[in-house]
Amino acid sequence: MSAIINDNHTKSSAGDPIYAGLKSDILSGRLKSGLPLRQDDIARDHGVSKIPVREALRRLEVEGLVVFEKNKGARVRHFSEVEILQLIDIRLALECRALELAVDNMIASDLSAMRTLLDEYASTTDIARSSAINAQFHDMLYEPCDNPQLLGLIDDLQQKLGQHLRLLVTEASRLERTMHEHNEILSACEAGDAAAAVLHLRHHIETTKKEVAAFMRRGK
């Protein structure tokens, strides 16, 4: 599923590469949650004035990735534990609906590709790779739903969660449990049973939410 960026800009500007670079660094976790984003430093690094830097930061603010604080400037947005769990709730609603729409549109090559991906997931020990495969599997589940607006909302949510939060979800979730539930979801899709697939997906995300909550409590 290709990422959909909420961007009203139709013409390129000096702020575009700054925006793209900062966004990539935030989503990858290279710029950590809560980190100050000093306009003078960014402008100097890019050899520009502060005007395009401010433009880039405002665009990231609209996307929920950056916040401005009075007398402090911009910083990478920090999601509280409560906000993370609320985002997972939103994920539950959006993704269950997408899967419900997608199952009837799945073809043999879709199902075969997902089965191959799960085989790779079972043999992967690297957390970052497991996280990437998990995200790819879910994207492939929803792609056939034929609803670009819904897929766009799911992409927006994934961007808000960010790579560092997706890694947290992967670390918090038990691999054996995740593998078993992914197989349940895919088996229901292979049987053309949308209701069962959605039921398994709902259980999967709800269990993930509980594990993430427990993981964050232990991390205090």
Structure-token pair, residue 191: 């049987």
pLDDT for position 14:
80
Give me the chain's average pLDDT, please: 87
Q: pLDDT tens, 161-178?
A: 766 566 666 666 677 888
Greater confidence (209 vs 6) lies with: 209
To which residue do tokens 């909550």 refer? 213
Mean pLDDT throughout 111-124?
Answer: 94
> Of 81-95, 180-194, 205-219, where does the model show the most confidence?
180-194
Q: Is the pLDDT of residue 76 over 80?
A: yes
Sequence length of the chain is 220
**What is the distance between the alpha carbons of residues 89 and 59, in angstroms, rounded to a whole number?**
25
**If pLDDT is split at 50, 70 and 90, which confidence band does 7 have?**
very low
For the stretch 147-206, pLDDT in tens is 999 999 999 888 777 665 666 666 666 778 888 999 999 999 999 999 999 999 999 999
77 DSSP assignment: P
Quickly state the pLDDT bin for 8 (edges 50, 70, 90). very low
Predicted model pTM:
0.75
Q: Residue 78: what pLDDT? A: 83
